[in-house]
Amino acid sequence: MVRDWNQMREHIIGLGEESSRKSFYPELQQRLEQLEETREALKRSQENLLTLFNSLHDAIIIISNLDGRVLEVNDAMLKMYRVSRAEFADFGLADYSTTRGNDISVPDAIRRDWPRLCAGDHLLFDWRAHRPKDGSTFDVEVSLRKAEWYGQDVMVGVLRDITERKRLEAMLLQSQRLDAIGQLAGGVAHDTNNMLGVILGYVDLIAEEAELSPSTREGLGEIKKAAQHSSQLIRQLLAFARQQSIQPQSVDLNALIESTQKMLRRLLGENISLVWKPANQLWPVWVDPTQIDQILANLAVNARDAIREHGTITLTTANETITPAFCQAHLDAAPGDYVHVSITDTGQGMSPEIQSRIFEPFFTTKAPGQGTGLGLAMVYGILRQNKGFVILDSAPGEGTTFHLYLPRLESATSMEQNTASEAPAPEGTETILLVEDEEALLELESRLLRKAGYRVIPCSSPGMAISLVQQGTESIPLLVSDIVMPDMNGRELYERLQPLLPNLKVLFMSGYSGDAIGASEPVGPGADFLPKPFKRTELLCKVRSLLNA
């Protein structure tokens, strides 16, 4: 009986437990389904984050702060270092970098900066990256922050390849350095030009004396020859500084280069072949033809010296349109239509170190006494002065090509050269107001004009000239003035004197080019420009031409 009761009791209890389980099952099943949905959502979210992580353009690296171990990288990081994900795990952080700053390894630098990162600082620096598979290096910019990764403190680095930016920065610095050197060279050349003008002027004056002995005349000839040689060096410096006086005109470069073939072949010698490949229907350019002759002669001589024995120099021309994309890689370039002249030699080529300095004045790889180091500086300056540019393409053992670009002349008729009228006898009796802040030149120019019969009023400053004109009643038909002066330039002086002397004509003078000082801008009829140093006859012809106009 008891046994039957116990069996019944157990059966009743079992039925209760089964009933309880059945009543709890729907809630448990619902919870399990919710957990499964949450798990699937987390999985999708993780996949989306991973897709986003690997689709970012910037490379991302997650680094353990304990041992510098790389925990995770994205696909951009693998692409930057040119390795697979499996290969990436074979290397440590030190394998992917060289140094940062003062020869500090990147892992050491990170450990050193960890307290700053913990304090919430954001570190931004450059390092030299290293590809362990092929040994190549490149520059990266790193942005580093502290974060948490699966419960541990880590550093998250965002890397950008800045190799191209570094290259463009180096090009910009080189251009700025050349500009600074050019300004210095131009200033020195201008002052030297004034002194050479004094030397040459007095040599001409003394040489006219009849009682000079033959030996004295011979000595004067040597002085003049040395001064003229120095003047040529100064012209090269001024060309580099883009301050050389020029007389541009519409030029067909094909015809001009064709006419220089005989001269170039004579410079190159018999062991070097000259190949000429002109383009059809080449655009005209606005340039001084003598400057093109200077460029071709200098580049031909350099190419000749770079060829050890036998070789070839190839000259080609082409019409080319420069795009903004091209200009991004070549900072001296500007978009537009250009005539492209290339000079290619089969010589020994140049190392990157030499290429970085090749356009600096006085830099030369030739033996002492075999070159002034001004030839390529002059080429660079002439092209910049004419709103063009030059690109150098060279490698050791592979020869060298200089790519010269000059802007296309859109309308030759709109830029006709202003030819001077026929110059009569260079003498006269008129009054000339002469303004020159260099005392030695003021004295020389006064003597040259007075010897030709003119009455000269010399002034050492613009203020002095204005004061004398305001006080006097004499009519002055011509102002001869330097342009670059400390207190007031020659153009401003002319504008101040015009109301006092309505019929005043002006001859501007300067050791700088007309473009550099603005003398090429029109100032009305009865104005002209004379570059220094000048010959006595050049000054007198200009003066007479203006007075007769």
**Least trusted range by pLDDT, from 130-134, 304-308, 319-323, 456-460:** 130-134
The string of pLDDT tens digits covering residues 308-329 is: 778 899 999 999 999 988 888 8
Q: Looking at residue 516, what is its pLDDT?
A: 45
**pTM score, two decimals?**
0.43
The mean pLDDT value of the chain amounts to 77
Q: What is the pLDDT of residues 177-202, one digit of tens each?
A: 656 665 666 666 667 777 777 888 78
- Decide which of 48 and 128 is more confident: 128
**Local structure of residue 152 (DSSP, 8 states):** E
In whole angstroms, what is the distance from residue 508 CA to residue 84 CA? 71
Report the run of H or E that residue 320 belongs to, with start and end: strand 311-322
* 294 pLDDT tier (thresholds 50, 70, 90): confident
Closest listed residue to residue 462, CA positions, set 502, 492, 430, 442: 492
pLDDT band at 333 (very low <50, low <70, confident <90, very high): confident
pLDDT above 70: percentage of residues in the chain? 72
State the pLDDT at residue 171. Answer: 66
Cβ pair 9, 2 in contact under 8 A = no
Per-residue pLDDT, 163: 81
Least confident of 278-282, 322-326, 373-377, 532-536: 373-377
Alpha-carbon gap, residue 473 to 495, rounded angstroms: 19
